[in-house]
Amino acid sequence: MKIITDTGSLYSPEAGEKIGVEVLPLNVIIDKKSYKEFVDIQSDEFIELVKQGHVPSSSQPSIGMTMELFEKYPEEEILVINMADGLSGTYQSTLGAKESMEHNENIHVINSMTLCGPQKYLVEKAVELKEKGFSLDHIMKELHKSIATEKSFLIPQDFGFLKRGGRLTPLAATVGGMLKITPIMTMTKDHKRLEKFAMKKTLKSAIKEVIKAFEELGVNEDYKIYVTHAGVLEQAKSVVAQVQAAFENVVIELYDLSPAFITQGGPGCIAIQTIKM
């Protein structure tokens, strides 16, 4: 069985190779030039270009590139774990590539309904279960169990990025102009867009609201928490400390956000996510 994912999982193709996973890079376009994220450009380089005033955009891997990858494994079962449908066109593009293949019975595509930290976890869980010898059917069932427990929050610094990307509900886009407060965004029930969860005066009080939501969800040592950021490492470290104090026995991992995510959330944004293991 071959596991495939996209860079929404925070895995680069190089890092994916080390655990036996194929990783399709999303594309970012800035100053009229296209880059494959984690291949042609890293997050810190991308943020510097954005700070120079360039307006970025992003796109999913091409259907042709995905088909080429499928063609490498004609005799194997293929499991694709894509970032959330709606937040990216990657899932639909992968389905298009699958439908274009002559013999596609061996290709199985999962909409992770998430991205970043929890998607990274789903890839790692699939690898672990594969190495333990579990069947594809069992692995897919276990992944869907975890997907059902995922919860994500985003705290943007610049609402303009989210508004331009069209990932907001109309209400959230309207509220976005009131940026003397700290907005907390979360996914809609169908996980296809972002909506307002709460508004707070400070980052610290916003994190308290996220912690409260995690407590109501029942987050404990059976969960993992991910904090990811767009070029604000010290702020992100303070978020980790605040969340860790509330969930002492929970593993928290800290990562840089990918260029494609920064295209949507903007420089300075911080995501706090959890998923049950």
C-alpha 77/C-alpha 128 separation (Å) is: 16
Beta bridge pairs of residue 183 = 199
Say if residues 268 and 230 touch (Cβ distance below 8 Å). Answer: yes
In tens digits, what is the pLDDT along the chain, a chain of 277 residues?
999 999 999 999 999 999 999 999 999 999 889 999 999 999 999 999 998 988 899 999 999 999 999 999 999 999 999 999 988 999 999 999 999 999 899 999 999 999 999 999 999 999 999 999 999 999 999 999 999 999 999 999 877 777 665 666 666 656 555 556 788 999 999 998 888 899 898 999 999 999 999 999 999 999 999 999 999 999 999 999 999 999 999 999 999 999 999 998 889 999 999 999 9
User: With b meaning 16 or more CB within 10 Å and e meaning fewer, what string describes 148-177?
Assistant: ebbbbbbbbbbbebbbbbebbeeebbebbe
State the Cα–Cα distance between residues 190 and 253, nearest whole angstrom.
26
- Give the Cα separation of 86 and 92 in Å (integer): 9
Q: 153 forms bridges with which residues in the sheet?
A: 186, 272
How many residues would you count in the chain? 277
| One domain for residues 134 and 262 | no
The model's pTM is 0.93
Q: Is 167 in the same domain as 233?
A: yes
Regarding whether 171 and 264 lie in a shared domain, the answer is yes
DSSP class of 227: E
Residue among 18, 106, 47, 37 nearest 267 (CA):
47
42 in any annotated domain: no
Domain termination residue (choose one: 147, 182, 213): 147
Cα 157 from chain centroid?
Answer: 18
Q: Which residue, 95, 114, 147, sits at the end of a domain?
A: 147
Of 176, 171, 165, give the one whose Cα is nearest residue 188.
171
Distance CA 224, CA 277 (A): 7
Same domain? 119 vs 174:
no
The sheet that has 251-256: what strands, in order across it?
194-200, 182-187, 151-155, 270-276, 223-229, 251-256
Is residue 83 assigned to a domain? Answer: yes
pLDDT score of 183: 86
Rounded CA separation 235/222 (Å): 26
78-96: b or e for each residue (b if 16 or more CB lie within 10 Å)? bbbbbbbbbbbbbbbbbbe
- What whole-number distance in Å separates Cα of residue 139 and Cα of residue 136? 5
Residues 105, 89, single domain; the answer is yes
What backbone phi and psi angles, to 5 degrees, belong to 276? -80, 135
Specify the number of domains making up the chain: 2
220 and 127 in a common domain: no
In terms of residue numbers, what domain contains 120? 2-26+61-147
CATH number of the domain enclosing 190: 3.30.1180.10
- Residue 264: per-residue pLDDT: 87
User: Is residue 46 situated within a structural domain?
Assistant: no
Give yes or no for a contact between 55 and 36, defined as CB atoms under 8 angstroms apart. no
Cβ atoms of 265 and 111 within 8 Å: the answer is no
DSSP conformation class of 222: T
